[in-house]
Each structure stands twice: as structure tokens, then as C-alpha cells.
Amino acid sequence: MMAADISMPILVVDDYKTMVRIIRNLLKQLGFQHVDDAADGTEALSKMRQKKYGLVISDWNMEPMTGYELLKEVRGDAQLSRTPFIMVTAESKTENVVAAKKAGVDNYIVKPFNAQTLKSKIDAVFGE
């Protein structure tokens, strides 16, 4: 595993514009420049099929396609299955964490979080 490459494109998936902005700003603080966003899982999937992302950071609760459903789609798609995936959620329900882990999530962040938390989760995913 190598360190997270700050030049890699990252896709932030959240239906809440403010949250997208917060995560985008935190990523910028950490040095990541290439951040795209999608408002839901469906949009995220189509973007992922057009462009290779080094990391996906997705909210759990979205309509019509949730982050969990997005994760399952990504893991089930041969082209996308190896994309690192971090799930963001407001509630740390054990069953959600377990379901996400079973579905192949790489890491999990509970809101609210700061740049340091985000960095440590990204570092963990990339084996630092």
C-alpha cells in the first residue's frame, strides 16, 4: 500500500451541499486539489464510470440511491471494485458499520469530524 496521493481525484458524494463544501474544504486543507462531487449514488456511479477516482467519500443517507447501495454497486462492478471507499454517517449504528464492512467499505467516519480525523481515515485506507 502506498500513501494517499494528493494529486489523485476524489469524489465526494452527499445530497447535502453544505456537507460537500465542508468535506471539500477539509480535503483542500489536507492538500487534495482534485475534488469532484455528486448529489447521490446514481450520479456518483455515472461519474465513476467516466473518470477514475483514487478515493470515494460518500454519505450513507441519500435518496434515491444511498451510500450503502452505491458501495455495493461499486464493489460489484469489475471496473470500479478496487476504488477505495470511505463512508460518512451521522449515526454510528453498529449494524450499519457491520453492513458497510461486509459490503467492502475501506473506512468509516462519523459526523461531525475535522481535518485530522479525515486525514487519519484516509491514511488508514492507504496503509500509512
Instruction: Give the model confidence (pLDDT) of 19-74 as tens digits.
Output: 999 999 999 999 999 999 999 999 999 999 999 999 999 999 998 999 999 999 99
Across the chain, the runs of DSSP E, i.e. the strands, are: 10-13, 35-38, 55-59, 85-89, 107-110
DSSP 64: S
Residue 66: HSE in the Cβ half-sphere, 13 Å Cα cutoff? 11
Q: Which residue has the cell 465526494?
A: 12
Amino acid at 123: D
Domains detected in the chain: 10-17+32-113 (3.40.50.2300)
Q: Quick check: pTM over 0.85?
A: yes
Query: Environment class of residue 82 by beta-carbon count within 10 Å: exposed (0-12), middle (13-18) or buried (19+)?
Result: exposed
Place 93 in a pLDDT band, splitting at 50, 70 and 90: confident
